[in-house]
């Protein structure tokens, strides 16, 4: 069994630790901050298959929804605030409805279950929707968790399987043996530099993975993409599923640099309604753009007119970790033996975490992976740079 240091106690690091510890590896999770204190606490907990077109990411997502179901059974749905509530995608124009239906047909061919919804049937799903929407598609497979609770629960389970979790530990780099294999992880703890012996290191530092991978000496390109989320006052259950506009589908796949907004509206356990999420590439600028917030509010009110009178309680900001080709980096780095990356999940790190953790555990344990790992390999950047 290997001594594995997982860097990052976010959703992805927690899922890696969970799978590695179940395999019997000696796992140490280190994070400079608290549990889930990075992007994991800055996003929503949508677990979506609906927004992904056929391809490697969809394969990972389909595996993940299955694994989330199993995790919820094992650890308790309440612990994670897991809800298999399904997603309803609505179009606001006939034109987008056409595009959405076509997108859904292709997804169905790739194994996604989805059902077209006629305008007259929309209110059966969501009674409070605007009455003039032309139609939509329902995805029964979409789920939801509370990301920080899910992260804490997976780390707790990993600890029961023998893992150690250490906070206040900042990773500075790795030391290698003469054969180029990882020997130890160099960290700063309370101002002092310490080493943690390791056979393998998993870089699960999300939006900071670019920086951490460079410190390790095996750089991968991960960049921030800003998003805002609006939180309303607590309400009785007024939104039953995840409801989002079809524009979201095109935004996710888009490579455009500017601002993209399209709303995802969902109710939470606490009664608040979350309205997400904008996408902008503005570096790590945390100032709230009230112009963006206004656009999001307008889009939400367009599909749920009752929101007009509902109070805004809070706005929060996060930075999605993205790679230039919009695919996560999962796998062994060929430059330093024992270094693995599990980062760059952009706006889907919560959803994709369990399948990512499973893939890392399979690779560290030397098994073949459930989902083909090739498309996620860090080598795609290594050879690009060479």
Partner 1 sequence: MTISPSERDQVWDVAVIGAGPAGLAATVAAADRGARVAVIDAEPAVGGQFWRHPAPRHEPNRVRDAEIAPYHHSLARYWRLRDRLAQHVAAGRAAHLSRYEVWAVQPAEAGAAEPAPGAAEPAPGAAGSARGSAGSEGGAAGTTSSTFFDVLAIDAATPQRHESMVRARTLVLAPGAFDLQIPFPGWDLPGVLTAGGVQSLIKGHGVLAGKRVVVAGTGPFLLSVGAGLVRRGATVPAIVEAASPASWLRHPGRLFSATSKLAEGAAYANTLTRHGVSILTKWSVLRADGRGRVESVTVAPIDGTGELDPDRARRIPVDVLAVGWGFVPQLELPLALGCATRAGASGLPVTVVDADQRSTVPGVYLAGEVCGVGGAALALVEGEIAGLAAVRAVGATGPAGAARAVSRPDEPEIADMQGDLAMRRRRIRLARRRERLRTFADALAAVYQIPGSWLGALTDDTVVCRCEEVTAGAIREIARDHRAADARTVKLLARPGMGHCQGRICGYAAECVAAHELGTPAAHRPVTRPVAAPLSLGTLAAGWPAAIAPVCRHQSNV
**Which residue, 311 or 368, has its beta carbon nearer to partner 1?**
311
Stretch that binds ligand FAD, among 81-89, 192-200, 302-310, 349-357 (CB under 6 A): 349-357
Contact status: 206 vs ligand FAD (CB under 6 A)? yes
- Interacting partner of 63 out of ligand FAD, partner 1, none (Cβ under 5 to 8 A depending on kind): none
Instruction: Tell me which of 60, 91, 204, 361 binds ligand FAD, using CB under 6 A.
Output: 204
Contact status: 38 vs ligand FAD (CB under 6 A)? yes
Cβ neighbours, 10 Å, residue 19: 27
Q: Do residues 349 and 39 touch, judged by C-beta distance below 8 A?
A: yes
- Interacting partner of 8 out of partner 1, ligand FAD, none (Cβ under 5 to 8 A depending on kind): ligand FAD
Residue that is written with structure tokens 């695919």 in the block: 327
User: How far, in Å, CA of 64 to CA of 42, rounded?
Assistant: 21
**Which residue, 193 or 288, has its beta carbon nearer to partner 1?**
288
- In the bound complex, what is the minimum distance in angstroms from residue 10's beta carbon to partner 1? 12
Q: Do residues 52 and 144 touch, judged by C-beta distance below 8 A?
A: no
- In the bound complex, what is the minimum distance in angstroms from residue 147's beta carbon to partner 1? 8
Contact status: 293 vs partner 1 (CB under 8 A)? yes
Contact status: 164 vs partner 1 (CB under 8 A)? no
Contact status: 170 vs ligand FAD (CB under 6 A)? yes
Specify whether the backbone of 231 is left (phi greater than 0), alpha (psi in -120 to 50) or beta. Answer: beta
Specify whether the backbone of 171 is left (phi greater than 0), alpha (psi in -120 to 50) or beta. Answer: beta
Concatenated DSSP letters of 209-225 = HHHHHHHHT-----EEE
Concatenated DSSP letters of 100-129 = HHHHHHHHHHTT---EEE-GGGHHHH-TTS
Q: How far apart are the first and last CA of the chain?
A: 34
Burial class (CB in 10 A: 0-12, 13-18, 19+), 221: middle
The values of phi and psi at residue 142, to 5°, are -70, 140
In 3D, which of 235, 228, 224, 226 has the Cα closest to residue 315? 228
Contact status: 40 vs ligand FAD (CB under 6 A)? yes
Q: What are the residues facing 29 on neighbouring strands? A: 6, 165
**Which residue, 248 or 304, has its beta carbon nearer to ligand FAD?**
248
- Interacting partner of 133 out of ligand FAD, partner 1, none (Cβ under 5 to 8 A depending on kind): none
Instruction: Tell me which of 3, 42, 63, 149 binds ligand FAD, using CB under 6 A.
Output: 42
- In the bound complex, what is the minimum distance in angstroms from residue 94's beta carbon to ligand FAD? 28
Output the six-digit token pair for 312: 């805004």
User: How far, in Å, CA of 171 to CA of 194, rounded?
Assistant: 10
Q: Which of residues 177-196 bind partner 1 (CB under 8 A)?
A: none
**Which residue, 33 or 116, has its beta carbon nearer to partner 1?**
33
**Which residue, 50 or 272, has its beta carbon nearer to partner 1?**
272
Contact status: 322 vs ligand FAD (CB under 6 A)? no
- Interacting partner of 291 out of ligand FAD, partner 1, none (Cβ under 5 to 8 A depending on kind): partner 1
Binding mask 249-278 for ligand FAD (x = CB under 6 A): ---------------------------xx-
Q: Do residues 88 and 138 touch, judged by C-beta distance below 8 A?
A: yes
The residues of the shown chain that bind partner 1, judged by CB under 8 A, are 34-37, 41, 146, 148-149, 152, 155-156, 165, 167, 230, 232-234, 270, 272, 275, 287-294, 297-298, 300-301, 307-316
The residues of the shown chain that bind ligand FAD, judged by CB under 6 A, are 7-13, 30-33, 37-40, 42-46, 170-171, 204-208, 212, 227, 229, 276-277, 318-321, 343, 345-351
């Amino acid at each position: 069994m290997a001594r594995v240091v997982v860097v990052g106690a976010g959703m992805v690091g927690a899922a890696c630790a969970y799978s590695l510890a179940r395999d019997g590896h000696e796992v140490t999770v280190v994070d400079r901050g608290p549990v889930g204190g990075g992007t994991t606490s800055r996003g929503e907990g949508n677990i979506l298959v609906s927004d992904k077109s056929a391809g490697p990411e969809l394969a990972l997502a389909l595996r993940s929804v299955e694994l989330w179901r199993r995790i919820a059974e094992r650890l308790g749905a309440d612990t994670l605030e897991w809800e298999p509530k399904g997603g309803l995608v609505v179009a606001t124009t006939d034109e987008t409805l056409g595009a959405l239906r076509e997108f859904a047909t292709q997804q169905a061919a790739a194994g996604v279950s989805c059902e077209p919804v006629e305008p007259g049937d929309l209110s059966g799903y969501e009674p409070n929707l605007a009455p003039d929407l032309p139609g939509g598609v329902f995805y029964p497979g979409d789920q939801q968790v509370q990301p920080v609770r899910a992260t804490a629960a997976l780390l707790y389970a990993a600890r029961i399987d023998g893992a150690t979790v250490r906070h206040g530990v900042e990773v500075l780099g790795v030391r290698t043996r003469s054969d180029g294999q990882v020997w130890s992880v160099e960290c700063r703890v309370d101002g002092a530099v310490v080493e943690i012996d390791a056979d393998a290191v998993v870089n699960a530092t999300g939006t900071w993975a670019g920086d951490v991978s460079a410190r390790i000496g095996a750089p991968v390109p991960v960049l921030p993409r800003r998003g805002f989320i609006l939180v309303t006052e607590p309400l009785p259950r007024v939104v039953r599923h995840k409801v989002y506009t079809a524009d979201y589908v095109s935004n996710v796949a888009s490579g455009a640099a500017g601002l993209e907004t399209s709303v995802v509206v969902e109710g939470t356990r606490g009664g608040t309604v979350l309205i997400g999420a904008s996408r902008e590439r503005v570096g790590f600028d945390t100032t709230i753009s009230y112009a963006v917030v206004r656009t999001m509010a307008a889009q939400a009110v367009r599909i749920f007119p009752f929101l007009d009178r509902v109070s805004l309680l809070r706005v929060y900001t996060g930075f999605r970790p993205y790679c230039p080709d919009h695919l996560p980096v999962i796998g062994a780095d060929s430059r330093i033996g024992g270094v693995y990356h599990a980062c760059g999940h952009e706006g889907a790190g919560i959803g994709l975490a369990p399948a990512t953790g499973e893939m890392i555990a399979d690779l560290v344990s030397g098994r073949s992976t459930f989902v083909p790992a090739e498309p996620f390999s860090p080598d795609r950047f290594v050879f690009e740079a060479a």
